[in-house]
Amino acid sequence: MIDLLGDFSIFAEKLRNLYSYYKLTFPDLECDIDKTIEQFKELAEYFRPMTIDTISYLNDAIVD
């Protein structure tokens, strides 16, 4: 989740690199990588309000 919700440009670059690798391995692979990245961007905004830093949350809960 941190890759998706952090700096999205880094996530997109990683996804493009993975796609390039798999495209070399599987030449018949057909995927619109730009459309896929756009879908992930929408998913990131969907999940953002439901996601918290669990380490901080649990530490605060233990202290309380």
Token duo for residue 62: 């233990």
Q: What is the pLDDT of residue 3?
A: 86
Q: What is the pLDDT of residue 1?
A: 79
Q: Which of the pair, 27 or 64, is modelled with greater confidence?
A: 27
Q: Please tell me the total count of domains within the chain.
A: 1
Which residue segment(s) compose the domain that 11 sits in?
2-63
Please tell me the pTM assigned to this model.
Answer: 0.77
pLDDT tens for each residue of 8-61: 999 999 999 999 999 999 999 999 999 999 999 999 999 999 998 899 999 999
